[in-house]
Amino acid sequence: MSKPVFPNLIIAGFPKCGTHALLHNLGHHPDIHAHPHELGFFEKPDASRSAYQSHFRSDCLWNVEKSPLYAVNRDAMRRMASLVPAARVILCIRHPIQAVHSFYHFRVFEFLNGFRSGVDPARYSFETWVLEEPPVRHFSIQYFRYMDHMLEHVFSCFPPDQIHVVIQERMMADMAAGMGRVFQWLGLSSLPDAFEVKLKFHGEQYRYPHIDYHTPGYRAAVDKLWDLYERPNQALRSRLGDPLPEWDVFDRMYARGAT
């Protein structure tokens, strides 16, 4: 019987930022066991430790779990730091307004249309959803203002050398290099050729066909999001010591006054 172990590599954030694809890619490495489901153990104070540990393997160098809401949960991060203080933590981020578009696409056109009949798409237009729907307002403010959560919930719980930030746009631009940086941080060699060809990154950036990008309402929604994220984005660049040049194209696209 294998010895019970906790994961020592945790993808803790953020939603709609390529966490699933990263887990998929990590799982191809022979020294990594990647559990495929979001367990949310550290969000549940009464969850069974033995049941949680049963998902991981003591014969693997790295056991990874992905629950992208950990990073926005203060108690979850504290519990994680208490139970697995030596764990490595990965944070995936992307341009916040792009992330909101992705979440809207998932929530409205995959969830609502998939599980509810008679949904009026006009009722759930992007601008209506952003400007009027409380859930997305909460999601937008809480989850994609990365600076607030990274400082308060993550960097206060783990030292910088145990945290790796994956920029989704950078990963997509050169996936092999991006995964190579992750493996190097973990002290692992790059994947053999047999694994290299299997690497995939699913979060392609494109303009969603069901969003009308040219209405005044859409522009008003984007202006609201821009006002939410402009300051935190600049603070994030400063905190990471990274100008995030991959975000410049989106800043030009979404800035107030952009056409």
Task: Please give the full DSSP string across 93-146, using - where no structure is assigned.
Answer: E--HHHHHHHHHIIIIIIIIHHH-TT--GGGG-HHHHHHH-HHHHHHHHHHS-H
Query: Which amino acid makes up residue 14?
Result: F
Q: With 80 as the cut, is the pLDDT of residue 228 above it?
A: yes
Q: Is the peptide bond before 6 cis (omega within 30 degrees of 0)?
A: no
Q: What ranges do the domains of the chain cover?
A: 9-95+146-196, 97-143+207-254
pLDDT of residue 118: 54
In angstroms, the Cα distances linking 20 to 11, 74, 190, 241, 249 are: 9, 22, 20, 26, 24
Q: With 80 as the cut, is the pLDDT of residue 45 above it?
A: yes
Measure the CA–CA gap between 14 and 236, rounded to whole angstroms. 14
Report which of residues 240 and 111 the model is more confident about.
240
Min mean pLDDT across 1-5, 41-45, 170-174, 195-199 is at 195-199
Q: pLDDT tens-digit profile of 87-130? A: 999 999 999 999 998 888 887 766 666 555 555 666 678 888 88
What is 9-95+146-196's CATH topology? Answer: Rossmann fold (3.40.50)
Q: Give the chain's mean pLDDT.
A: 86
The pairing of beta strand 163-167 with beta strand 32-34: unpaired
**Percent of the residues in the chain that have a pLDDT greater than 90, as a whole number:** 59
What is the pLDDT confidence band of residue 193, given thresholds at 50, 70 and 90? low
Measure the CA–CA gap between 143 and 248, rounded to whole angstroms. 21
**188: CB partners within 8 A, 6+ apart:** 29, 31, 32, 61, 62
Angle of the 19-26 helix axis to the 175-185 helix axis, nearest 10: 70
Average pLDDT over residues 22-35: 93
Q: pLDDT tens-digit profile of 46-85? A: 999 999 999 999 999 999 999 999 998 999 999 999 999 9
Coil, strand, or helix at residue 163?
strand
Q: With 90 as the cut, is the pLDDT of residue 34 above it?
A: yes
Instruction: Tell me 17's DSSP state.
Output: S
pLDDT of residue 120: 62
